[in-house]
Amino acid sequence: MSSNRFERFRRSLTFRLSIWYAAVFSFSALILFVLIYMLLVGAMERKDREVIEAHLKECVALYENGGLPALEELVANRDDAQIPKVFFVRLTGPRRNVLLLSAPAGWGDFGPSDLVNNGNVSQLVWFQIPSDELHDFTIAAMPLADGSVLQVGRSTNNRKTLFDPFRRTFLIVMVPTFLLAILGGGFLAYRATKPVRDVVATARSIIDTGDFSARVSTSGSAMEFDELAQQFNRVLEKNQTLIVGMRAALDNVAHDLRTPLTRLRGTAELAVQSTTDPVACEALADCVEESDRVLTILTALMDIAEAEAGVVKLQLENTSVAGLLENAIDLYELAAEEKRIQMTTDYAGRCEAVVDPMRMRQVFANLLDNAIKYTPEEGNVHISCRAVDGQVIVWVKDSGIGIPSDEQPHIWERLYRGDKSRSQRGLGLGLSLVKAYVEAHHGDVSVESTPGNGSVVTVRIPQAA
């Protein structure tokens, strides 16, 4: 995938939706893991504390009812039982002297006498002391009515060590989960944006081919995108109706105007041949000339309208652009010689492109006509051509009167003529036709000019159709 295509894809709605789907899915999985992890840790901690707290309450009840002997008897009975000693029990008096101590195996290394000072114990409190990598000592301390403090504890599983496999498993599972989220998000986004792509494809097809009969396929559902496609089709139908009506009106106008103008021209020509009055002959000749002028304007306006509407029928074929330029130069060679204008060329390579030869020949002829018309005597016109990055670029440079900067944006408009060009014969349609035909080939045309230093017109045409 080229960098330009990747950049377009990165900015597309499908890509952004895919990323959002993947982000939401992955974030939801992360939140679910954290929630389950916290619930598991909390449940295990509650279970451990419930066991310790139950034994603590049993010891407190015996001590309050039977005193220290009852508590010693309970501890002695459990120490004499044929089961491993599980609970740690320590009773400290009001003076913090140890009255009773019973510790399971392994707690001796810990040093029960080094446990947290109980002087500030005013209610049931919990604390944990690490034992080794796998276990912790969990201890509950409760103050008694006589000022003593009873501590009961047991060895519990280390939470970090216990849940390390769970965390590692989550990290391992998250990688394929994220990839699955991207793929799933991409699939859903691709399906969701299909109506939008259909609308874009239809619009592009209409722009490229000028066929307004193209429509977006719809499923008939009430989904928002499907309704968008339906409304887009309605807009296309209205536009097609308007364009068909415009074409019909233009055809009728062209036919209705051409016929009387042609008849008027023929009548004037016959009258010129049959009269000997010089004044009448001059007037009739003017009628013939102006009839030709109006017919030319009408034809040019029709051609421009077709090209701008995208309905011009181009006969595309692989053509040498340099050859088309040579044909235009041959056509205007005599006009250049009359003004002693030197025309030079510079063609690099074959400069071939898929174009309509007749239309592009007219483009180059109009540009040369303007260059010669507005270049003073003994000036020069330089035509160059290059093939660059899939485009054929043509430059027409003259040493003429130039175009003021405020007029340059308007020279492509129909019937526009600048102040300096009004002294020259013309219709004001040549550059409009140039722009319309170049854009019909999906190219572009621009001008750079400084008054008194001539102009450079640049035409860019894609080499491929």
Q: Which two tokens stand for residue 160?
A: 């970090």
Concatenated DSSP letters of 432-456: HHHHHHHHHTT-EEEEEE-TTS-EE
- Encode pLDDT of 47-93 as tens digits: 888 888 888 888 888 888 888 888 888 877 765 554 456 788 888 88
Sequence ranges of the domains in the chain? 13-163, 224-309, 317-462
- In the chain, the percentage of residues whose pLDDT exceeds 90 is 9
Class of domain 317-462: alpha beta
In angstroms, the Cα distances linking 61 to 48, 77, 332 are 20, 16, 121
The DSSP 8-state label assigned to residue 119 in this structure reads: T
> What is residue 116's predicted lDDT score, i.e. its pLDDT?
47
Q: What is the mean pLDDT of the chain?
A: 77
Quote the pLDDT of residue 432. 80
CA 104/CA 112 separation, integer angstroms: 11
Looking at 3-104, which runs of residues are DSSP E strands? 88-92, 98-102
pLDDT, residue 118, reads 44
Give pairs for 116-121: CB < 8 Å, separation 24+: 116/141, 118/92, 118/149, 118/151, 121/149
Strand locations in 348-435 (E)? 352-355, 380-388, 391-398
Give the model's pLDDT for residue 32: 84
For residue 459, pLDDT over 60 is answered with: yes
Maximal CA-CA distance, the chain: 156
Q: Would you state the pLDDT for residue 71?
A: 82
| 185-197 pLDDT per residue, tens | 778 777 777 777 7
Mean pLDDT over 261-269 rounds to 76
Long-range contacts of range 178-181, CB-CB < 8 Å, 24 or more positions apart?
Answer: 178/22, 178/26, 181/21, 181/22, 181/25, 181/26, 181/29
Is the per-residue pLDDT at 21 higher than 70?
yes
pLDDT exceeds 50 at position 110 = no
Lowest pLDDT segment from 68-77, 205-214, 364-373, 431-440: 205-214
Rounded Cα gap, residues 75 and 52, in angstroms: 15
Q: Give the pLDDT mean for 110-125.
A: 54
- Lowest mean per-residue pLDDT among 30-44, 46-60, 266-280, 322-336: 266-280
CA distance 415 to 422: 11
The pLDDT score that the predictor gives to residue 55 is 87
User: Angle CA(193)–CA(199)–CA(200) in degrees, nearest 5?
Assistant: 90
What pLDDT was estimated at residue 427?
47
What are the pLDDT digits (tens) for 25-57? 778 888 888 888 888 888 888 888 888 888 888
Residue 179 has pLDDT above 60, yes or no: yes
pLDDT at 461: 92
Distance CA 152, CA 52 (A): 7
- Asked whether 9 and 15 are in contact (CB, 8 A), the reply is yes
Tell me the β-bridge partners of 317.
355
Answer whether residue 280 shows pLDDT above 80: no
3-state SS, residue 461: strand
Query: Helix, strand, or coil here: 158?
Result: coil
Q: Which fold has domain 13-163?
A: Beta-Lactamase (3.30.450)
Listed in sequence order, the residues at least 6 apart from 411 whose beta carbon sits closer than 8 Å to its beta carbon are 403, 418, 431, 447
What pLDDT does 394 receive?
A: 93
Q: What is the pLDDT of residues 387-415, one digit of tens each?
A: 988 899 999 999 988 888 878 777 877 65
pLDDT in tens, 372-390: 988 888 899 999 999 988 8
Share of the chain above pLDDT 70, in %: 78
SS3 223: coil
- pLDDT band at residue 441 under the 50/70/90 scheme: confident
Helix %, strand %, coil % of the chain (to 5): 55, 15, 25
